[in-house]
């Protein structure tokens, strides 16, 4: 689990300059051998630990590193709740 968390944190850090919010599916691609439930568990744990946070438009939810990106900024194409 700890290793898997590192994979996610590294990925988010590497991407942080260009992109602060990521769809759940982006993480599935990091772990091609894992079931979505397992990946969700890793992410939920990172949220609990305060490392990752959710961003929501109301209709769509994305994940990002806590403190990165502008909290109230809208994402292109998320114009409805």
Partner 1 sequence: MKFETPLLDQLEQGPWPSVVSDIKQEAAHRAANPNGLDYQIPQDCCEDLLGLLELSYKDMETHWKHGGIVGVFGYGGGVIGRYCDQPEMFPGVAHFHTIRVAQPSGKFYSTKFLRQLCDIWDLRGSGLTNMHGSTGDIVLIGTTTPQLEEIFYQLTHEMNNDLGGSGSNLRTPAACMGMSRCEYACYNTQDVCYQLTEDYQDELHRPAFPYKFKFKFDGCPNGCVCAMARSDFAVVGTWRDDIKIDQDAVKAYVGGEFVPNAGAHSGRDWGKFDIQAEVIDRCPTHCMSWDGQKLTIDNANCVRCMHCIDTMPRALHIGDDRGASVLCGAKAPVVDGAQMGSLLVPFVKVEQPYDELKEIIENIWDWWIEEGKNRERLGELMKRASFQKLLEVTNTEAEAFHVKEPRANPYIFFKEDEVPGGFKRDLADYRSRHQR
> Using CB under 8 A as the criterion, which residues of the chain lie in contact with partner 1 when the complex forms?
23-25, 36, 39-40, 43-44, 47-48, 53-61, 64, 71-75, 78-81
CA dist., res. 70 & res. 34, Å (int): 31
CA dist., res. 12 & res. 52, Å (int): 9
CB of 71 to ligand HEM, least distance (A): 16
CB of 74 to ligand HEM, least distance (A): 14
Q: Kindly list the residues in this chain that would bind ligand HEM in the complex (CB under 6 A).
A: 58, 81
- Write down the residue that tokens 């919010």 correspond to: 21
């Amino acid at each position: 689990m700890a290793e898997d968390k590192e994979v996610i944190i590294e990925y988010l850090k590497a991407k942080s300059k260009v992109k602060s919010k990521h769809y759940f599916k982006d993480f599935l691609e990091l772990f091609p051998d894992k079931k979505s439930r397992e990946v969700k568990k890793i992410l939920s744990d990172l949220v609990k630990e305060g490392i990752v946070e959710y961003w929501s438009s109301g209709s769509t939810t994305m994940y990002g590193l806590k403190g990165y990106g502008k909290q109230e900024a809208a994402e292109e194409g998320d114009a409805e709740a």
